Structure 1
């Protein structure tokens, strides 16, 4: 639980009377400062992310999602996520706001029937929004409106406009989700919670010499149950996921630092540089040195 709290992002709103923020992200910068690119985190806020340029790849609770320009993703509150890749020209905006923003007032019928049943349902971590489905296109169009409006300080009733449009998005979303959403059994939710705990452990301890038994222990389950959780939810093994995550971090360090390959190997949990090099070549089809040299061209 302590590791999970370390990954918690607290949104610090400029206006506490209007807890709503839009983060603008590219490969080099986040405005206003926040967490996102190659930075695993979670927050209590709901999030809609709109890709405004290029392509991105996001990970939510271990699953990878690829998004292109003019596509979007909804991420429910409390789920571990990060952007794992942004194209060189890539940009996106993320709208973060608390669920109470949709409830009108605490204890309302809107909150009890149309907000909490969806924000507390672990079966609904993510919804991908694309242009070829009409209701999803409607949401994307409104996200573009929000992007323009939030920057327009002269817009009459700006906060009210943003509020109305955000509730409109939510209404479209839950109207569609209500047709297919199924409350998952407690056993499934328990498995999802265990998975989140284990992913948090991996993402905060990958540089150390950890084994599958350590990953399982973080969620107070056996190594066998750990293996079953990863296979059923992520379709991989805990060992393969750990190695893949280490290599992703190595790729980031190769791209953004001048550290030696030996240092990068040590920092990503590899005891031997040769093991890092062979694993890197197996996953990416070239050596770390060749990858780095191509990036400098």
Structure 2
């Protein structure tokens, strides 16, 4: 299973429900290029995420940092951390994505001591899981086993899932990653989410830099530094890219033409929309619309 139309709410929180029928855990096989955007856009969720690369390689951005993962390696992404993923060099990257609600990892009695400190740590956005490390390989193997259990559902698989999760968490704790708690880092993360939240609410309107900065209670220059640090781009470039992302969904709707879509996502000129779309997608909006129409009819 793969969610190709990746949806997030105005706060950039992913809307996908990460659970099986009865458990707050989900396991997906994801091919990055098959996403509607051609990559996994920036988002966050309450669940912990564990990734194991099955084929190719991917570039993940978590908060302010970018890392490259190769076939066989993996990663732990902490609860509430902004992240995105891109295929590296058209490698056809395919990975297992395991999402689990933190409260499900260990029992309530153990949660406060062994799980909550990891959620609150400001220096723990992610942990790379290199297959050469014994503790990391144990986690990567457990991800594979959970993937098998969820999709095959053998007898008592729910109990086996909880055993594997305990095994995963024990290996993270054994790794001995030092935990830090800095109020300044918490504030930065909160302000960045506030600015993104504002953009996602107002992207269809006229936006100037002062509006974005005000949402994060920052000066214009500090706002630019935040975006450069977190997203490696300017605030207004981010707005442009977000508008293009939103246009992809609308262009697949037969009732909207290119001009309709341009104005709905915040462009005040169809020609400017076409120009920016071409720069981002290497094709015109009309070509994209025709391609998706052909794909839709082929799948029908």
1:96-107 equivalences under 5 Å are 96-106=99-109
Instruction: Name which of structure 1's ranges 277-286 and 89-98 shifts more when overlaid on structure 2.
Output: 89-98
Which ranges of structure 1 fall in alignment gaps of 5 or more residues?
31-36
Cα distance in 2 for residues equivalent to 1:130 and 1:248: 32
Is this contact kept in 1: 2:11–2:197, CA < 8 A? yes
Aligned residues: 281
Which ranges of structure 2 fall in alignment gaps of 5 or more residues?
1-8, 296-300
Residue of structure 2 in register with 1:46 after alignment: 48
Is this contact kept in 2: 1:48–1:73, CA < 8 A? yes
1:174-213 equivalences under 5 Å are 174-176=173-175, 178=177, 181=178, 183=180, 185-213=182-210
Pair 1:22-2:27 in alignment:
yes
RMSD: 4.1
Residue of structure 1 in register with 2:150 after alignment: 150
Residue of structure 1 in register with 2:242 after alignment: 245
Cα distance in 2 for residues equivalent to 1:12 and 1:261: 37
Once the two structures are TM-superposed, the CA of residue 53 in structure 1 deviates from its matched residue by: 6.3
Cα distance in 1 for residues equivalent to 2:189 and 2:149: 37
Cα distance in 2 for residues equivalent to 1:134 and 1:265: 52
Cα distance in 1 for residues equivalent to 2:59 and 2:290: 23
1:1-297 equivalences under 5 Å are 3-4=10-11, 14-15=21-22, 18-23=23-28, 42-50=44-52, 60-61=62-63, 72-81=74-83, 93-106=96-109, 108=110, 111-112=112-113, 114-129=114-129, 131=131, 135-155=135-155, 157-176=156-175, 178=177, 181=178, 183=180, 185-251=182-248, 253-254=250-251, 256-258=252-254, 259-291=256-288, 296=294
Is this contact kept in 2: 1:9–1:42, CA < 8 A? no
Once the two structures are TM-superposed, the CA of residue 62 in structure 1 deviates from its matched residue by: 7.6
Cα distance in 1 for residues equivalent to 2:264 and 2:73: 35
TM-score, L = length of structure 1: 0.72
Once the two structures are TM-superposed, the CA of residue 144 in structure 1 deviates from its matched residue by: 1.0
Residue of structure 2 in register with 1:34 after alignment: none
Once the two structures are TM-superposed, the CA of residue 136 in structure 1 deviates from its matched residue by: 3.7
Q: Deviations over 1:61-104 (max 9, x none)?
A: 5877776765544322223456778x9x8765543333233333
CA separation of 1:9 and 1:214: change in aligned 2, threshold 3 A: farther
Cα distance in 2 for residues equivalent to 1:20 and 1:294: 35
Instruction: Name which of structure 1's ranges 189-198 and 46-55 shifts more when overlaid on structure 2.
Output: 46-55
Q: Deviations over 1:86-137 (max 9, x none)?
A: x9x876554333323333333x4x632x322211123322334455655444
CA separation of 1:174 and 1:277: change in aligned 2, threshold 3 A: farther
Once the two structures are TM-superposed, the CA of residue 160 in structure 1 deviates from its matched residue by: 2.5
